[in-house]
Amino acid sequence: MQNYGQAIGTVHHVRRARIELDHRPRRWRIKADTYISVGATRPVESEEPIACGIPGLDRPGQEVVSDELRVTDAPLEWDVRERCGFATDFHYAG
């Protein structure tokens, strides 16, 4: 699972977006303009080690309960809450 890029079937849009990140514990947040908003304030308490299931699996993190998982970019639109999330650091190179 080194790269999910090959699994992408359809690309709906490619555009610039202002991205906001907050990695402070209990204030986890990712926002990409008005298109995507993800936030969590509650960690999942567990004695088990937790690691990310996407590229970066080697990075430890904190499983969280989402307060918000929202996408508003037609035809993709949803708003769900109380779902599993994952907070970790990452290295981005663009």
CA–CA distance, 23 with 45 (Å, rounded to integer): 18
Interacting residues of 51 by C-beta distance below 8 A, sequence separation 6+: 57, 58, 59, 60, 61
Q: What is the pLDDT of residues 24-79, one digit of tens each?
A: 889 999 999 999 999 999 998 888 777 665 555 567 778 889 999 999 998 889 99
pLDDT at residue 83 is higher than 70: yes
Alpha carbon 71 to its chain centroid, in Å, reads 12
CA–CA distance, 24 with 31 (Å, rounded to integer): 14
Other CB atoms within a 10 A radius of the CB of residue 50 amount to 16
